[in-house]
């Protein structure tokens, strides 16, 4: 399929079959009852895959009006949790940017203008480690629908539930393994109530995301957290570092008259941040309306795309559901896809820098080299750029890579990246990952298979993925309850100058 030219306008090729070699998946519909034949085929696939259209069913998730979620919103937006006061969670996970930052790769601390977000946010010249490009080696995932994960957090699942009980978000009492655990597979006794709370203990300890180079230099994670909590509470080592008083907010949210030392602990900070994030449930989309019976909720093209998504390659489909499983579109397992590796990398491999071994770095398991967790696909149209390092900036390209990875890497279009993203070693280190993928294929380790794909099939799959967008996430008025406007001493967050500088 190397002759396939993705840059051709898709509209010029309407007559191509959806998937060449298709034994009928998308061609089954024919004649006058065209639509109903397609609907019948899709509805039988929906039944076969056990879909319900209700991924949040049976879960206990807070609303944004929950007092803890309200406190968490304030904490999520304050740069006071950044060691050097210049980076907040929202700097990389803004609700009006799809719960991410709209960047290939993020820059956290030492941004040129700390309150500017999105394309154009960049590291200030001359600050530590400056090379002109982004400082964080992986793409910011969305914070939407985090309460639906049961197994893990992060691209490499380094925060992982030991129980993985369905419906519990890691809160099954069986323990959560984190980077603070004493060994792989060991519970971290301080992890907290669920996966999202366990995760919220780590960004503040990351030098490039929030801590900065000099704040608590060389300190243990708990020393960093305790210092930040003391800062927020105005006591001990943090006394006098900020002028705002957070105690009334903590008293209100935790319904207690306790002192700052008692209430403003990092445990209580991370619980509130987690409840705010867990309130970001955005699952009202046209696809789920269709699954629940509304035949006209999605377009014909989206239906054809869904048939490809839910059909096996042997039946002319693309087999996407094999990993993007169920109503949450993920099996929470790890696979090697050899997506082009851009940016600084995690410092793995012989080049000691621009590689990223992903899950392998956590487990050392021979099947995990360059493997990343299957991301969920809800609202995926608004969470780009895509993959663990953001190296695809269109859905067409990231889907095409799944179908024809060798061709996709060989013809990778560097022009889709902003010029500052580091790419010197991209071909070299991506080929390492690609060779690993081919070894896995040959030895039967589960990974992507070559799937014949046409421009029409790609366009249909893209159309299908667009039906996974909850209209709320496109509407600033609908998202307003999740945005903190009163930042105290913080400045309001703006889109970067490259995008006009309007308020987010
Ligand atoms: C500089 C940008 C940056 C900042 C600031 C930041 N994050 Fe992130 N966040 C990331 C990146 C990059 C990842 C992926 C890292 C990885 O998987 O190795 C991530 C991952 C996550 C995840 C995992 C999501 C998933 O699907 O597994 C959560 C949850 C999260 N961040 C929440 C937060 C919270 C809460 C804060 C503030 C305490 C925060 N982040 C601050 C960039 C940032
Ligand atoms: C073998 C498992 C597997 C199959 C099959 C699979 N995917 Fe993926 N998908 C993944 C993994 C793993 C990633 C993340 C890879 C990375 O970041 O390097 C991913 C990433 C994605 C992304 C980017 C999401 C994001 O948030 O960055 C999209 C979109 C996507 N897949 C769609 C599809 C479609 C459409 C199909 C069918 C053509 C498909 N996938 C088939 C495992 C799979």
Find, among 201, 168, 262, the residue nearest to 75 by Cα.
Answer: 201
Ligand 2 atom nearest to CA at 333: 12
* Ordered structural domains, the chain, with CATH: 1-60+285-319+453-469 (no CATH), 67-280+480-499 (1.10.760.10), 332-450 (no CATH)
pLDDT at position 4, please? 36
Cβ atoms of 372 and 156 within 8 Å: the answer is yes
pTM for the model? 0.93
Which tokens go with 20?
């060449």
Ligand 2 atom nearest to CA at 336: 12
Nearest CA to ligand 2 atom 12: 374
pLDDT at position 491, please? 59
Q: How far is CA 205 from CA 55, 323, 352, in A?
A: 32, 32, 23
SS3 495: strand
Q: Are strands 176-177 and 159-161 parallel, antiparallel or unpaired?
A: antiparallel
Find, among 407, 458, 405, 387, the residue nearest to 100 by Cα.
Answer: 387
Q: How far is CA 116 from CA 54, 203, 280, in A?
A: 36, 19, 23
Question: Per-residue pLDDT tens for 310-323?
Answer: 999 999 999 999 99
Ligand 1 atom nearest to CA at 210: 5
CB of 374 closer than 6 angstroms to any ligand 2 atom: yes
Ligand 2 atom nearest to CA at 461: 35
Tell me the CA–centroid distance for residue 291 and ligand 2, in Å.
Answer: 21
pLDDT at position 35, please? 60
Phi, psi of 59 (to 5 degrees): -95, 145
Tell me the CA–centroid distance for residue 324 and ligand 2, in Å.
Answer: 7
Query: Which ligand lies nearest the alpha carbon of 451?
Result: 2
Rg (C-alpha) for the chain, rounded Å, is 23
pLDDT at position 11, please? 35
pLDDT at position 20, please? 37
Cβ atoms of 448 and 61 within 8 Å: the answer is no
Tell me the CA–centroid distance for residue 321 and ligand 2, in Å.
Answer: 10
Tell me the CA–centroid distance for residue 466 and ligand 1, in Å.
Answer: 24
CB of 323 closer than 6 angstroms to any ligand 2 atom: yes
Question: Per-residue pLDDT tens for 196-206?
Answer: 999 999 999 99
Look at the chain and count its residues.
504
The whole-angstrom separation of Cα 262 and Cα 303 is: 55
Average pLDDT, the chain: 91
Tell me the CA–centroid distance for residue 302 and ligand 1, in Å.
Answer: 31
Question: Per-residue pLDDT tens for 66-93?
Answer: 999 999 999 999 999 999 999 999 999 9
In the predicted model, residues of the chain with pLDDT beneath 50 are 1-32, 489
CA angle 384, 178, 280 (to 5 degrees): 40
């Amino acid at each position: 399929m190397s002759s396939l030219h993705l840059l051709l306008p898709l509209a010029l090729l309407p007559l191509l079959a959806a998937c060449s070699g298709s034994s009928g998946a998308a061609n089954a519909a024919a004649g006058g009852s065209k639509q109903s034949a397609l609907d019948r085929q899709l509805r039988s696939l929906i039944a076969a895959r056990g879909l319900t259209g209700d991924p949040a069913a049976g879960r206990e998730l807070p609303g944004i009006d929950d007092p803890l979620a309200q406190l968490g919103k304030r904490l999520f937006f304050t740069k006071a949790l950044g060691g050097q006061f210049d980076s907040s969670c929202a700097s990389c996970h803004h609700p009006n940017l799809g719960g991410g930052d709209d960047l290939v790769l993020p820059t956290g601390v030492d941004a040129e203008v700390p309150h500017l977000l999105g394309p154009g946010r960049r590291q200030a010249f001359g600050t530590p480690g400056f090379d002109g490009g982004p400082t964080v080696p992986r793409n910011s995932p969305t914070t939407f629908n985090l309460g639906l994960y049961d197994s893990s957090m992060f691209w490499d699942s380094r925060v992982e539930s030991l129980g993985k009980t369905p419906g519990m978000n890691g809160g099954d009492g069986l323990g959560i393994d984190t980077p603070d655990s004493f060994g792989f597979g060991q519970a971290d006794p301080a992890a907290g109530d669920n996966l999202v709370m366990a995760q919220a203990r780590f960004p503040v300890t990351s030098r490039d995301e929030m801590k900065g180079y000099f704040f608590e230099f060389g300190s243990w994670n708990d020393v960093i957290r305790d210092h930040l909590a003391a800062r927020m509470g105005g006591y001990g080592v943090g006394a006098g570092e900020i002028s705002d008083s957070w105690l009334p907010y903590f008293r209100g949210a935790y319904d207690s008259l306790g002192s700052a030392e008692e209430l403003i602990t990092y445990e209580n900070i991370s619980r509130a941040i987690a409840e705010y994030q867990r309130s970001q449930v955005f699952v009202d989309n046209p696809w789920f309306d269709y699954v629940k019976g509304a035949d006209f909720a999605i377009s014909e093209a989206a239906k054809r795309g869904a048939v490809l998504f839910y059909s096996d390659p042997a039946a002319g489909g693309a087999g996407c559901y094999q990993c993007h499983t169920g109503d949450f579109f993920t099996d929470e397992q790890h696979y090697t896809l050899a997506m082009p590796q851009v940016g600084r990398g995690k410092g793995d491999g012989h080049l000691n820098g621009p590689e990223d071994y992903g899950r392998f770095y956590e487990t050392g398991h021979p099947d995990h080299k360059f493997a990343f967790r299957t991301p969920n696909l809800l609202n995926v149209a608004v969470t780009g750029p895509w993959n663990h390092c953001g190296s695809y900036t269109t859905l067409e390209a990231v889907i095409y890579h799944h179908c024809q990875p060798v061709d996709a890497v060989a013809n990778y279009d560097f022009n889709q990246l902003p010029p500052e993203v580091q790419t010197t070693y991209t071909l070299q280190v991506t080929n390492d990952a690609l060779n690993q993928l081919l070894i896995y294929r040959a030895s039967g380790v589960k990974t992507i298979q070559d799937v014949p794909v046409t421009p029409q099939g790609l366009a249909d799959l893209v159309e299908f993925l667009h039906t996974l967008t909850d209209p709320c996430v496109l509407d600033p008025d609908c998202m307003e309850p999740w945005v903190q406007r009163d930042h105290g001493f913080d400045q309001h967050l703006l889109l970067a100058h490259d995008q006009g500088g309007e308020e987010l």
